[in-house]
Amino acid sequence: MLYFAYVSNVFKKSSLNELSRIFPDMDILKDYREIVIFNSKKRFSVGDFNKESPIFTYNIIRLNEKKDVSTGNYLDDIYKTAYSLKPRKKSRIRIECFDLNSRCGYSSKDIEVYIGEKLESDGYCMDIMNPDTLLYLVIIDMTCFAGCARRNEIVRESANPRRRYARKISRAEWKLQEAFEEFHIPNGNLAIDVGASPGGWSAVLVNKGFRVIAIDPADFDESIVSSDAIAYHAARGKICEVDKMNNDIIHLKEKLTSAVKKMDGIIADMIAIDINSPGKDAAEAAIMYSKYLKKDGALLITIKCQTKFVKSHIETAKKLLRKKFKIKGVRVLPANRQEVTIFGVKI
């Protein structure tokens, strides 16, 4: 059986180890950047895979077709491959195109538009936001691999975040949006955002109904500072009682070690930490701020990992976090780069 998996490019080695634990007889056919196509005798079960809590791998689906598209009309051959899978009524197409020799001259986008329009003219409905099925076409050097699956048949199905969410301030916003979805984090009243500038996460949190105490010596983006939609206040000194906070965001323009001394009386529903320091420092920050999080309150933290020592970075952070938190999930989300996102709740 032929399978397709998305893995994290920066954590390729760990990703392949993860996959080979699930598919011990895995025989890799193609391995390009974030994509692995492999053969395995083991029949794939989403349930089995989810029990393993994959950290690095997502979008695993079975591929039903493999076709050489070098001989006839390139786009039509790809279309015929897609059509033969008989996608359901509401479908989304996802195309990954690795045309190494640039022989075809079409981009993934060109192919997607062509296939999408043609399927629509044949009575299918393309639904990007809420499809029943996903149609995957992976085109590698004149070979088209195609698979079609219902969404619940895909391990950690993820869309390209660039498509799903508008980005306003920083790329980091995608990480937080994805984490809310992946871990089903509830909304709440008050969040502490550590390492908050230029304010992407804070803005997402405000949109989810939180008021935010944002900690970072660096400035916030001008679009927040001068926003009509978000009430922003740059503060030094002690934070006033939460009930008196009239602003959506109170920005303490200082380092986390000095800001923590000004938190008396604060009980937050969530702590979000995204500092650009080693994972160990981030985990220590979480311990330091845990005092101001309610019991069962959510912790979301990015742990930067050097790719050489991925395992030890994650294990060190987890060990520290376990002093105050129950860890609920560790994942590389599509928008993560050289980092993992950990979700925990306060014990």
Ligand X SMILES: C[S@@+](CC[C@H](N)C(=O)[O-])C[C@H]1O[C@@H](n2cnc3c(N)ncnc32)[C@H](O)[C@@H]1O
Assess contact for 342 and 317: CB atoms under 8 A. Answer: yes
Q: 């916030």: which residue's tokens?
A: 220
The packing angle between helices 310-321 and 12-22, to 10°, is 80
**215 lines the binding site for ligand X (CB under 6 A):** yes
Shorter beta-carbon distance to ligand X: residue 111 or 301: 301
Binding mask 230-269 for ligand X (x = CB under 6 A): -------------------------xx-------------
Task: Identify the bridge partners of residue 340 per DSSP, sorted by sequence position.
Answer: 303
Cα separations in angstroms, 54 against 76, 156, 172: 36, 9, 22
Alpha-carbon gap, residue 256 to 267, rounded angstroms: 17
Total number of residues that touch ligand X (CB under 6 A): 21
| The only residue of 195, 279, 297, 334 in contact with ligand X, by rule CB under 6 A | 195
Assess contact for 138 and 96: CB atoms under 8 A. Answer: yes
| 346 SS3 class | strand
Window 150 to 169, contacts with ligand X (CB under 6 A): 169
**290 lines the binding site for ligand X (CB under 6 A):** no
| Cβ 344 to ligand X shortest distance, Å | 18
**335 lines the binding site for ligand X (CB under 6 A):** no
**300 lines the binding site for ligand X (CB under 6 A):** no
Alpha-carbon gap, residue 304 to 182, rounded angstroms: 19
**199 lines the binding site for ligand X (CB under 6 A):** yes
| The only residue of 230, 275, 298, 317 in contact with ligand X, by rule CB under 6 A | 275
> Is 328 exposed, middle or buried (CB count within 10 Å of its CB: 0-12, 13-18, 19+)?
middle
| The only residue of 1, 28, 125, 218 in contact with ligand X, by rule CB under 6 A | 218
Assess contact for 136 and 94: CB atoms under 8 A. Answer: yes
Window 75 to 114, contacts with ligand X (CB under 6 A): none
| Cβ 6 to ligand X shortest distance, Å | 23
Shorter beta-carbon distance to ligand X: residue 108 or 338: 338
User: What ranges in 184-339 are assigned the alpha helix state H?
Assistant: 200-207, 222-225, 256-259, 279-290, 310-321
| The only residue of 112, 178, 216, 248 in contact with ligand X, by rule CB under 6 A | 216
**277 lines the binding site for ligand X (CB under 6 A):** yes
> Is 80 exposed, middle or buried (CB count within 10 Å of its CB: 0-12, 13-18, 19+)?
middle
| Cβ 204 to ligand X shortest distance, Å | 8
Residues that bind ligand X (CB under 6 A): 169-170, 172-173, 195-201, 215-218, 255-256, 274-277
